[in-house]
Amino acid sequence: MSDYKVVNPATGETLATYETLTDEQVQQKLATADAAFRAWRATPVAERAALVRRAAELHRERRDELAETIVREMGKPLAAALGEVDFAADITEFYADNAEKICGDQPLEILGEGTAVVRRSPIGVLLGIMPWNFPYYQVARFAAPNLVIGNPILLKHAPQCPESAAAIEAIYRDAGLPEGAYTNLYVTNEQSADIIADPRVQGVSVTGSERAGAAVAEVAGRNLKKVVLELGGSDPFILLSTDDLDATVQMAVDARLDNVGQSCNAAKRFIVVDGLYDAFVEKFTALMADAKVGDPFAEDTVLGPLSSLAAAERLAAQVDEAVAQGATVTTGGTRDGAFYPATVLTDVTPDMNVYREELFGPVGVVYRVADEDAAVHLANDTAFGLGSYVFTTDEEQAARVADRIDAGMVYVNVVLADSPELPFGGVKRSGTGREMGLLGADEFVNKKLIRIAS
C-alpha cells in the first residue's frame, strides 16, 4: 500500500512512490524512540545543541538539492524554495545557539526562607504532523527546539512530501543524532491516531487544516496528551493611511502571493479606508495581474502551480461560487490545470460563503470601510485569529488597532517579517499554543518546581 507519492503538480507526473509502514514497523520505531529518550535526555545540553547546530549546517550544505525536491513535490517556485531552506537552517541554528537559555533553571523570588527554581526538562517522545506547504520550515520550528530540550521526534509528513521528509531524517542522522532521536514515519491517519494514544508518546503538534486539528485534538484529549495546533487563517491587511501607496500595495501583493498564496498567515482580506480604496484596488489589481505564472524552476516565475490539481480545483470552485453570489473579479479567476493566476475579488458581502472561508491560494478579497472602527470590526468578524497586518502613519493609531485585533500576531507597516526569535501562533479556530521563539520551546517541557528550605 502506498499513500506517499511525489506527484509534480506542474506536470501531473508521478515521480516516486513510498510504502506505508506496517503496524509492526511502527511499533519497532516507537520502541526505538522510547529507548532513545532515556539516553538523549541524559546527553549534556551543549552536546545536544552541537548536534542540532550541525543539522543547520547540513541544511545549508544541501541547499540546492533540498530546494529542488520541494519544487517537484509541491510546486514552490525555486527562489522561494531556496529561501525556505535558508529559513529552516536559521531556525535550527537559533535553537542550538539558545540551548542554555531554553534549558536553564529559572530562579523564583519566594516569600519564605530558602530557594526555589523552575527546572525545564524533557517530557518524552513527541509526534509532529506536518503539512505540505512549507516542508522544511514547518518541521524545523517543531523539531529543533524539542531536540535541544531532549524530546525525541516522530515526524509524520504530508503524503505528498515523502522525499523532503526522508531528506530531513537523513540530515539529523548525518548530523550525529542517535538512532530514534528523530524518526520519519510514512503512516496513515489511522496509524497516527494509534501513535498519539500510545503511552510512550507524550505530546503531539499538528500544523494543518481545522479538520485535521480537530481530529488530532480529539484523540489527544481522549488520551490526556499535550497538543499544539497551528491551523488556518484569514488574516486581515488593514490600510488606514500611508505616505507611499505604491510601496504599500507592493507589500500587499507580496503578502498575498508568498508561497503561491498557500500560507496560513498570508494576508487574505484587504480592508481599506474609503479615501484610499479606489486607488488601492486599481494598483493592487495591476500588480496582481503582472504576477507571472509558469514553470516553478524558471527564475522569473512568481506563481508556480498550486500544490495539486485538487487544490486548484477547490480554489476555483470558491471563486466561481463567490462570483455566482455577486462578487466581482477585477483580474484572474481562470484555472489552467493546477495553475491559478493571481486573482482579486471585490464587492464581497457577509452573506456570501467566501466572506467566512479561507482562500488557500493567490486570491485576495478587498473591502471598503468607512473608518478605523469599521476596519477593526471587519478584521475581527472571522472564526480565525492567526496573524494580521496594520498600515498607518499614526503611531498611536497603530498601537490602538494592534491592541483591538483578535489575533495571535500583529505586524505594523511590514509583511513577511517572521523570524526565528518571534513566536508564531493564533487564537480562535487558528489553533492553540506557540511555535518559534523562546515561547515555542516552552510547549513540551516539564516546568518542574524545586523548592529548597534554608
**Catalytic residue list:** 230, 264
Element (H, E) at 252: helix 245-257
Candidates 429, 270, 433; CA nearest to 363 is 270
Q: How many residues does the chain have?
A: 454
Candidates 386, 377, 376; CA nearest to 430 is 386
Q: What is the DSSP letter of 129?
A: E
* Cell reading at 307: 500544490
Which SS3 state, helix, strand or coil, does residue 339 take? strand
Report the sign of the C-alpha dihedral through residues 280, 282, 283, 288, in that order: positive
Q: How many CB atoms lie within 10 A of CB 194?
A: 16
CB 188 within 8 A of CB 3: yes
- Vertex 80: Cα angle to 78 and 86 (nearest 5): 105
**CA-CA distance, 407 to 404, in Å (whole number)?**
9
CB 78 within 8 A of CB 67: yes
